[in-house]
Structure 1
Amino acid sequence: MEESDPTGDEAPPSRSGERTLSRYDSLERIASKVSGLANVKVMTTALLLRLAFQSIGVVYGDLGTSPLYVFSSTFPNGIDPQHVEANVLGVLSLIIYTLTLSPLLKYVLVVLQASDNNEGGTFAVYTLLCRSINVGVFGRKAHPDDRALSGYDVVPRITGRFREGIRNFMEGRKAVHMILLLVTLLGTCMVIGDGTLTPAISVISAVQGIQVQVSSLEQNVIVAISVVILVLLFNLQRFGTDKVGFMFAPVLTVWFVAIGVIGLYNIGAHDLSVLRAFNPKFILDYFLLRKLDGFISLGGVVLCITGTEAMFADVGHFSARSIQIAFVPFVYPTLLLAYCGQAAYLMKHPEDVANAFYKSVPAPVYWPMFVVAVLSAIIASQAMISAVFQIIKQSQAMSCFPRVKVVHTSKRFPGQVYIPEMNWFLMLACVVITIIFKNTTTIGNAYGICVVSVMSVTTFLTAIIMLLVWKTNILLILAYFAIYATLELTYFSSVLVKFTEAFCEFVEWD
């Protein structure tokens, strides 16, 4: 059954006399007519900077608040006092290179280029692939007249015997079509899981910092405060990404500046030698020392890149260029300073690893930082909540999700949407998870599984895009896939082991 067009904006007939298939729904067509926004290439510098500023409050909250719990999750049983330097420098080196390889090199340089008409996420990569080759499960290849739509970039024709052979192989086998769709749906499910766990772990990790100063405060009180904050957060979503971004961006900007400055202070005040961790040799030393325990600890290290997928999934709310502008000169260096500062503090005070972030904050600024941390943790949830809205809208357009109400919250930016049903579902799930688990340890282990799973799906799909759409050199594709498949498989194995152990402890199994 065809949907009616409430705007009366009927699609023109094609040359064959059939009605032209449309890529957008009616509201998106209206939004795309706004001058200067149909194509990000014509955006002014002022508009790009505005979007970059907003993206700090929406995209980077989760990634930016990871310093609250990474070291404590990596060393749940404390740091061996006999090998403090090897442990701290090894983990710091792992954090540095994980941040560099994944968000900086993979997402900024590669994945952000795989957006489909400025929409990101696993379904955007899938639709881009379906427009290039005939692998759509639900029956039709992209209609030729779709390319006449102003919002579409022209997909280059596939050339070369090897690429032609791969395309023919994929087009001729229904099993391949189904596998691609199932992989895409797996990535979508992991994003929804990520959006469910992010608010819970971020808010709890920030609120429980008050126990550093008020040790008598019980965990049940922390949980109650966290639940109230979560309910308020989800009630803000109806105002839309544009307004929420401007409300949240100043707080996250202050947060990034603060953790960067405090990190720089800790490096100078405690141990400047932590900068040696930029030498990857310390990673090898760390694994030689801890062996299996070192491998399992990767389940904590991987939390330093939680929220990275939001850089891609939230592209539709902003633009690839604005997200890059915010990350490279601002978010990335402040995160490195924050982790280096915590490591410098732990070199002198390894016994404080359970509350490494708050313990490393200088006493005179503890309470201001606590307030900013709680606000930032609330905002951190916004990244994956917005990503869930975006990816649900895309999956619904591909008939892979039940029909739900999609509210367009901006007349200027067609990708900014709000889905009431998903918002309340996520809120209920977050509240239940917070009440049941009560701490960040078990949530963090499950969180790592979602994070690595969706990143692995993105790696797989973008490798196919590189081969069939971008026509990238085969050696570069092999290098890209080998590096990131190995990295993400290693992290996934670690978080799976760690989650199994933590879950068994939680249910008190032997």
Structure 2
Amino acid sequence: MSAETNPAGPEGETTEKNQLKERKVSWAKLRRVDSLNLEAGRVSGSGTHSSSVSWSTTLSLAFQSIGIVYGDIGTSPLYVYASTFTDGIKNTDDILGVLSLIIYTIVIIPMLKYVFIVLWANDHGNGGAFALYSLLCRYAKVSLTPNQQPEDTELSNYRLERPSNQFRRAQKVKNKLEKSKIAKVMLLLVTITGTSMVIGDGVLTPSISVLSAVSGISSLGQDAVVGISIVILILLFSVQRFGTDKVGFSFAPIVVLWFIFIGGIGLYNLFKYDIGVLRAFNPKYIVDYFRRNGKKGWISLGGVFLCITGSEAMFADLGHFNVRAIQISFSFITFPALLAAYSGQAAYLRKFPEKVGNTFYECIPDPLYWPTFVVAVGAAIIASQAMISGAFSIIAQALSLGCFPRVKVVHTSAKHHGQVYIPEVNYMFMIACVVISAAFRTTEKISHAYGIAVVGDMFITTNLVSLIMLVIWKKSIWQIALFYVAFGCTEALYLSSQLYKLPQGGYLPLVSAIFLTMVMGIWYYVHRQRYIFELNNKVSTEYMKELSSKPHINRVPGIGFLYSELVQGIPPIFPHFIANVPSVHSVVVFVSIKRIPISSVSLEERFLFRHVEPKEYRMFRCVARYGYKDAIEEPEVFESLLVQHLMEFIRQESIMLEADGTTTAEQVAINDSETANMSQASSNRIVPTEQGAGAGAVSRGSSDSIRSQGVAAMSSTFSAPPIQGVNEEIKFVEKAKNMGVVYLLGEAEVVAEPNSSFLKRVVINIIYRFLRKNFRQGDRMMAIPHRRLLKVGMTYEI
């Protein structure tokens, strides 16, 4: 349900009251008259995410995308033929067979699969494995974390659709997914593995691209080539902090010039040496090639596949651009240039087959050699940008969904929220690229490892998109089968060829993917167990009511934001906080930062509030909802927005109760009834540690901030008399904000229960603890000022 923004004046008030009356049925059904269960969709022009983008903006993004997305696939002509004919060319007709394979591989996977199908499987303009997973989580309850709430499904960007009667098959599949724990685990595991493959690709792409370009000066010796490549790689990663927007505009002219060079040189060689190679558009040459070469032809597919490395960047980098921009830039610039380049090299090799080892540089006309070399180095540098940007995007998605250790995500563009930079990951990539370049030294050895990461990610994308076609798009079974067979079988064939090279270096991406999958899986597992623990141990209503009977607890002026991941109830850290610091602020807000499986949440729908009973305590629960593309505001902006929406909630609540005819006493009864139905704690236990030692210690520097406000501590009773009138209540909150906002952060140390298995103790007590201590802490993630921060720790046994 959506409502237009109310105009100012009496007419606006009348419209608002009419809308409130229309919602009475919905409120009665939800049994709560406050914003945690109000329907969303209150955004003006809700659902306008997909609003049309002007052609000038689209063309500008298309130009930028050339500099970001196509550097990898665009520099493949540097090494494809050399990687395919590793033992030389025995029969010149094999050149036609390989060219035919290259042509149809480019047509089938980048063009048909990605440009015309997979790009449309985006999540509000975002691509990558986690975008696909988020889509599935919205349309079916397949998330392993039990934090789905009815009000989230009403968000403007959620767009929940129900399968129609004529597609009951989709409903059956959806039900099976929701009921099967194994299916949920496998779906998450496949998503994490696909993400790990892209991250591995982001490490291998810079190494092979730069080494292949610098090989144009191989006369200086291989040591010089490797050394220069390492220097270039370090410079490349040093400029990432400037952001995709600036880097894209800077790189795009170079890549456009690169495509002009390779396309022009290709046409020159085509007409000069053998225009007859265009016969390769006939697929019969593929059949002839395999008949002649048998097993060797199958093995050579590993080299042929390198012609489409970087295709997945079109989908992974989609959040930086849009579908139309990618389609335009690939169809009208990248695709023609690549066909001309490969055809020209084939024509040259038909006359000089012995020069296949360095085909690209050998076939360049002498006057253009050094200009082409300079542009090639520049394009190779840019090629690295494609997968680096894609890796940043999907890591940011994984982080927001609780599947990656905490890292700093910097949003580098105010116009395009998907453009991000992650400093820690950037430097890890740089170190890995330098090590790989120094260890492998040649593009031939790196190519053995390179293809497995790429084709592995492509195959996972095919599986996820097929599931989306079945459950969400509700395509007919023959369309799904055609998609899966055509692309899945093609990629499976290439994957089998790549696996043959496992001993020659192909093990590297598999080992890195397994390692990253374990890290992400462990982080998600403990993150989920911690959430379930807090859910099962949330604070009871009785405890909250008894606070006023404890004379040693004082209220101090100001507002306190107590952060927790719990979105249902009061977190168990609160009693521990009261035990350590027996003073709380005159207004307390339990804040939960909740990530929704959508790309973005409108500011008008971001904050949900609820009173913590009794109301005279002036305590509130707030759920701040963010999509995986949304950046959390700076503390000053965040607290201003939250308090502003809190005051609006108080005002709206008064109007709602009046319109609904519900008395305050009746609402309190509803609140108490709901809270009494909370989950009981199982064998999980809270183990508070003694103050001043370990996790139970209060952060000293932060406690000074509280003490400074509490020196003149108002020895007021815990519950103050209710203020008569909405305006007075709002003024009280505003005055509390002016007195200062303090952030109360619960730092929970997670350990395995004493009777846990050895594996569980290793996972939680060693691996997870190491990750947590060596990545960013919660206060650094939210950039909370230390002078206004109070930390209280405790230990959770799970």
Alignment of structure 1 residues 365-404 onto 2, 5 Å: 365-404=368-407
Specify which of 21, 36, 40 is matched with residue 19 of structure 1: 36
Higher relative contact order (CA 8 A, sep 6+): 1
Give the AA of the match of 2:282: N
Alignment of structure 1 residues 270-285 onto 2, 5 Å: 270-285=273-288
2:103 and 2:339 in contact (8 A); partners too: yes
Structure 2 vs 1, CA of residues 384 and 20 (structure 1 numbering), >3 Å: closer, same or farther?
A: farther
CA distance in 2, matches of 1:165, 1:53: 44
CA distance in 1, matches of 2:253, 2:159: 34
Alignment of structure 1 residues 233-252 onto 2, 5 Å: 233-252=236-255
Structure 2 vs 1, CA of residues 349 and 502 (structure 1 numbering), >3 Å: closer, same or farther?
A: farther
Specify which of 58, 79, 82 is matched with residue 89 of structure 2: 79
2:202 and 2:429 in contact (8 A); partners too: yes
CA distance in 2, matches of 1:392, 1:291: 41
1:53 and 1:326 in contact (8 A); partners too: yes
Q: Which residue number in structure 2 is paired with residue 132 of structure 1? A: 139
Larger radius of gyration: 2
Structure 2 vs 1, CA of residues 38 and 62 (structure 1 numbering), >3 Å: closer, same or farther?
A: farther
1:312 aligns with 2:299: no
1:290 aligns with 2:293: yes
Q: Which residue number in structure 2 is paired with residue 181 of structure 1? A: 188
Q: Which moved more, 1:156-165 or 1:127-136?
A: 156-165
C-alpha deviations, 1:454-480, integer Å up to 9, x for none?
000000000000011111121010011
More helix by share: 1
1:134 and 1:140 in contact (8 A); partners too: no
Q: Which residue number in structure 2 is paired with residue 468 of structure 1? A: 471
Q: Say how many residue pairs are matched.
A: 475
1:472 aligns to what SS in structure 2? coil
C-alpha deviations, 1:79-110, integer Å up to 9, x for none?
11xx11x2100000000000000000000111
* TM superposition shift of 1:146: 3.3
Specify which of 115, 123, 128 is matched with residue 130 of structure 2: 123
Structure 2 vs 1, CA of residues 190 and 87 (structure 1 numbering), >3 Å: closer, same or farther?
A: same
Structure 2 vs 1, CA of residues 54 and 352 (structure 1 numbering), >3 Å: closer, same or farther?
A: same
Specify which of 474, 480, 488 is matched with residue 477 of structure 1: 480
C-alpha deviations, 1:167-195, integer Å up to 9, x for none?
11111100000000000011000000000
Q: Which residue number in structure 2 is paired with residue 145 of structure 1? A: 151
CA distance in 1, matches of 2:499, 2:263: 32
Give the AA of the match of 2:208: I
Structure 2 vs 1, CA of residues 155 and 388 (structure 1 numbering), >3 Å: closer, same or farther?
A: farther
Gaps of at least 5 residues in structure 1 are 1-13, 24-31, 505-510
Structure 2 vs 1, CA of residues 155 and 63 (structure 1 numbering), >3 Å: closer, same or farther?
A: farther
Structure 2 vs 1, CA of residues 109 and 375 (structure 1 numbering), >3 Å: closer, same or farther?
A: same
1:404 aligns to what SS in structure 2? coil
Q: Which residue number in structure 1 is paired with residue 207 of structure 2? A: 200
Give the AA of the match of 1:436: A
1:78 aligns to what SS in structure 2? coil
C-alpha deviations, 1:263-308, integer Å up to 9, x for none?
1111000000000000000000000011000000000000001000
More strand by share: 2
* TM superposition shift of 1:77: 1.5
Alignment of structure 1 residues 10-159 onto 2, 5 Å: 16=30, 17=34, 19=36, 39-80=49-90, 83-84=91-92, 86-141=93-148, 143-157=149-163, 159=165
- TM-score normalised by L of structure 1: 0.90
Structure 2 vs 1, CA of residues 232 and 501 (structure 1 numbering), >3 Å: closer, same or farther?
A: closer
Give the AA of the match of 2:97: G
* TM superposition shift of 1:161: 2.5
CA distance in 1, matches of 2:270, 2:306: 22
* TM superposition shift of 1:156: 4.8
Gaps of at least 5 residues in structure 2 are 1-25, 508-798
CA distance in 1, matches of 2:353, 2:296: 18
2:445 and 2:504 in contact (8 A); partners too: no
C-alpha deviations, 1:197-251, integer Å up to 9, x for none?
000000000001122xxx2x11111000000000000011000000000000000
1:117 and 1:153 in contact (8 A); partners too: no
Structure 2 vs 1, CA of residues 484 and 130 (structure 1 numbering), >3 Å: closer, same or farther?
A: same
2:309 and 2:454 in contact (8 A); partners too: yes
1:343 aligns with 2:346: yes
CA distance in 2, matches of 1:300, 1:391: 27
C-alpha RMSD of the superposition: 2.2
Runs of 4+ in 1 over 6 A off after TM superposition: 20-23
2:95 aligns to what SS in structure 1? helix
Identical positions, percent: 54
CA distance in 1, matches of 2:63, 2:49: 19
Alignment of structure 1 residues 312-461 onto 2, 5 Å: 312-461=315-464
2:144 aligns to what SS in structure 1? coil
Structure 2 vs 1, CA of residues 476 and 442 (structure 1 numbering), >3 Å: closer, same or farther?
A: same
Give the AA of the match of 2:130: F
Q: Which residue number in structure 1 is paired with residue 495 of structure 2? A: 492
Q: Which residue number in structure 1 is paired with residue 672 of structure 2? A: none
- TM-score normalised by L of structure 2: 0.58
1:20 and 1:146 in contact (8 A); partners too: no
1:68 and 1:206 in contact (8 A); partners too: yes
* TM superposition shift of 1:490: 0.7
